Amino acid sequence: MVVATYGGDVDVTWEQIEPLDFFWIVLMVAAAIWPFISAALNKTSVALAMVLSLLLVHFIKYALAIFNSPLFSFEPIHLFSMIPAIYDVSASESVANSHRFVTAAWLHADFIHVLGNVLVIALAGVPLEQRLGPKRWIAVYFLGIFGGNIAWVATHPGSITPAIGASGAAFGLLGAYMACWPDDKIEFPLLFLIRAWPVWSIAFVRLGLEIFQMYSIQSGTAGESNIAHMAHIGGFFLAYVLARPIARGAPSSLFDSSEVLPGEYSSRSMKTSQMGSLDSDPWSESGKELSGNSARILAKLREEGDELETRRAWLEELAENVICPVCEGEVFVLVENENSRLKCFSSTKHIDWP
């Protein structure tokens, strides 16, 4: 997170927003949300969707900044950045500006700022998502956002300088990873070397640099900085403290560490983590319990279907022995990105399992 400056058409409150400004607001919100809709539909990485979301929003912000025209007069930093002084006015004003605790994390000062954050989110976020699963990953990411913004507001009361960036969230990912799987090795640029480092060493160096820079500024040995170091530390520690309760029930057990490598292994791990749960089945849920050979195949599927190939094999055998619980028609196995699911020939809405 960095602190920024005002300029241009200042629209700090919703009452100051002009009709044309709403077009840009809707466009930015759509750009921020679309990657997650695509990730949900295609069952792809939420961490990479976050990277794309941040980049798309920054491209729009950049377009608004470079074009000198009334059409491009809206400056999102005024309405969406974190401004601590706003929360000192009144309770109603605080509620009206509560969106800033989230939206500030989607704005960045320049391309170096956004690229620095998405680099951490991609390199640390993707393997962490494989460990946590997408829903828990999003929870940890937002803990980093809230932790960073709360720390900044608490330590800079009355400040009218806007703060922006996803750095608190990026540090939150490191904090959560450190809390749960500190010995995992991930590819990361550290100490001028790009190699597989243990997560604890990455967190130690990055957090240590933040504390050192804060000390240098406070002691007067370094000049003023536009970097919100306290937000980074707040995001790290809030995610660190709450990550373990969130990680319970995740695809990976706590502290079961391994080396997370790029390429084929990482891709396979992602696909495996996206396999649906076999705990329940559509026949039991519809009151049509399987019996005989079908029940035996289902039991074998649950017992041995924890790998992509064995799950597909047992699902294909199950498809030959069961019918759709809704229309009693035939079912088939649909394979997408090496993940297999049972579907109904009559309607894919009847059955989509697991």
The domain ranges of the chain are 2-268, 276-353
What is the pLDDT of the chain when averaged over all its residues? 86
Three-state SS at 193: strand
User: Does the N-terminal peptide bond of residue 354 adopt cis geometry, omega within 30 degrees of 0?
Assistant: yes
* Residue 170 pLDDT greater than 90, yes or no: yes
Q: Which amino acid is at 86?
A: I
pLDDT of residue 126: 93
Q: What angle do CA 180, 185, 190 make, to 5 degrees?
A: 110
pLDDT of residue 149: 95
pLDDT of residue 191: 82
For 267-295, give one letter per residue: b (16+ CB within 10 A) or e.
eebbbbbbbeebeebbbeeeebebeeebe
pTM of the predicted model over 0.85: no
Q: Which CATH superfamily is domain 2-268 in?
A: Rhomboid-like (1.20.1540.10)
Are 100 and 162 in contact, with CB atoms under 8 Å apart? no
Distance CA 9, CA 18 (A): 10
Q: Which amino acid is at 37?
A: I
85 C-beta neighbours (distance < 10 Å), count: 13
